[in-house]
Structure 1
Amino acid sequence: MKNYVVLIFIIVFSFNLTALAQSNIVFVGGLTYNNLLYSTIKQGQIDNNFALRESLNEGLGYYGEAIYWPVKRFGVGIGVDQVTAKWEDTIQGIGRLIERRYTRQLVGPYTKVIYKLNRSTELGLSCVYYYYSDYRYETKYIDNYYKTGRGLGFLLGTKNNHSITDNLSIVTSLNYRVARIDLRKEYNSYTKELVANRKDDLLYIQGLRASMGITYKF
């Protein structure tokens, strides 16, 4: 088994060296602003009011990817996409202050195919395997709320490159995201741990992702 793993590593490493020598690998990274619209299916019923807090309908994130161009117009890549939506405040309760904090996070690796329309514009489709977490904390409650899930998502959009040098560019992009999350685990106040969610709840997330970053070509 170890010999097999070593062989795979050597093949992949040799492939990357060849690609680098041919200047066919591009690294891209940037920050994102995300619009997030949620809907759930609970026991067969659609609920479009999942957000609870309006500020959870938007979030900041990042992405990073490596793209290989085997031919002039078509490329393939791998990367990671992450977004976090937060809301928090403090209100006056009876005799004390009450803190409230909500956090939702979506993160996952992806594979990508790209078609280059021209020198500066590209079309891309990414298939993402997302991990989702939903955390809520309020000081007036003894226990916190925590739920996790995972599922498949897609990013479809365009990217524009604004060259600074032959190797370095500023890149802007706009993508539409859809994701279907199976909410698998939730916090149990009796056992004090995450347990399997037996309700078969599904979470759908959609919205726009706008980003700005840099790209470097070897």
Structure 2
Amino acid sequence: MTEEQFWTEFNGIKQELMDKAEENAKTFWTREDLTHEEVFNSIIPRDWHEIAYVSFIGTLLQKYWREYDRNLVTALCKHLWDEANHYEIISRVLENHGYEPPTDVPEPSQAWEDLHWEALEKDSTCAIAVWNVSETSTTPQMDIVIENCRRIGLDDLARVYEKIKKDEDFHCKLGVNLLERHMKTEEQRKNAIWGARKLRDHMFKLYDSIYAIETVQS
């Protein structure tokens, strides 16, 4: 696989998932009868992803930091801190509304979780590709979540996602920067696209679980 072939497919996979996430999010969040309970049940798996990335990025740094330019190590440390902070601020909102923040993998997220750890064992670029596809796929949802949280009276959750939206732009650009700077060999590209393809399949199922479109439309 050439570098051009990699980026063409990789960016295509991200666009597929962004389209899927936006479609499901619009159908779920814009319903007139959307309840607070449905919202928080959809938020709990997302909250888990925040704390899961603390462990994931921490392990990525521990295993591979010597491969990276120093400024990118610093950027990854900021990313790790951002994820911990996201977990904290989402969890506070959950608790304020009577819900328990997740401390174990929610069932819908198990395949997502397993793939991240499998990617870490392959090589650093595979791990980064999986993380970047996952993070990028969430970006089209942000404005939809913020607008409709306000619509149904969840201003506290809207403020949290305004903060997260700003951070995610940095995270997504960081992942691409890491791949551009440190993915040099065909083997790395093959591993990275393997991870991206696997992640796409898992995320399609995950978005159908978090935003249960079939249930909503029945």
TM category, shorter: under 0.3
Q: Which has the higher contact order (CA 8 A, sep 6+)?
A: 2
| TM-score, length of structure 1 as denominator length | 0.21
| TM-score, length of structure 2 as denominator length | 0.21
Structure (1 or 2) with the larger CA radius of gyration? 1
Higher share in helix: 2
